[in-house]
Amino acid sequence: MSDPELQELSGRWLRQYRPAPDAAVTLVAFPHAGGSASYFQPLSAALGPQTEVLCLQYPGRQDRRHEPCLDTVEAFVDAICTVLGPRTGRPLVFFGHSMGAVLGYETARRLEAERAVDLLGLIVSGRRSPTTTRHETVHLRDDAGVIAEVQRLNGTDSALLEDEDIRRMILPCLRADYTAVETYAHRAGPPLRSPITVLTGDADPQVTRQEAERWSEVTSGGFRLHSFPGGHFYLNSQQGPVTRALTDSLTAFRTAAASPRP
């Protein structure tokens, strides 16, 4: 891929809402199913100039709504690794919520395996460990069933979902995203060298504490778990505590990276 082509691709996939030219670390944010880069705009502002926040914009939504949706984790990871390739020379941390946690984890695995890149760390939110399984079939439901699941998790303003035009606009990417994450199967392999921080809501129906704790099985680095009051989208009401947890993890990741490894 030529440099102009890669720049054009990066422009479609990456959003930066706050310049951070002097940042010591780059946080790459992976949205949830049906989510968009703008979901992380408040977080980008909260982390301030010390952290460069790059938010992924998946195809099939907002300004990319006319592009074909992706419906496998592998297809997402292929594209994301291409886009992030030129940026792997600087300190990186991945942060993914729900489906974004799976994409962040698999992208980290790919980069470590193929490019010998050591992330500073991986932060996952609202998702059980990939070593656990649940049989989920939201992607097989009719349109009303998919919308009902989104409403159950409080991921989108219910009033917006009453609008037929908005439903018609978001359903294709929702169904494709659910297809990708619900047909994903973890493949055994070497654990990540990067440490993992897990964030979870204490009333999240999508992940139990035991399922969250099993993220420790997929890393040989450090492991931390933080629980917050709330359901699947606890981040919406816990922005301050979540920002502090992220800041603490970023500091811990940088300290660990600066220490000699045994």
With a CB cutoff of 8 Å and minimum separation 6, the contacts of 48 are: 18, 20
Helix (H, G, I), strand (E, B) or coil at 102: helix
Please count the CA atoms within 13 angstroms of the CA of 89 that sit on its side-chain side: 1
**Can you tell me the distance from the alpha carbon of 141 to that of 152, in angstroms, rounded to the nearest whole number?**
14
Neighbours of 84 (CB within 10 A): 23
Both structure tokens of 32: 């949830």
CB 230 within 8 A of CB 237: yes
Q: Which residues are catalytic?
A: 98
Q: CA Rg, the chain, in Å? A: 17
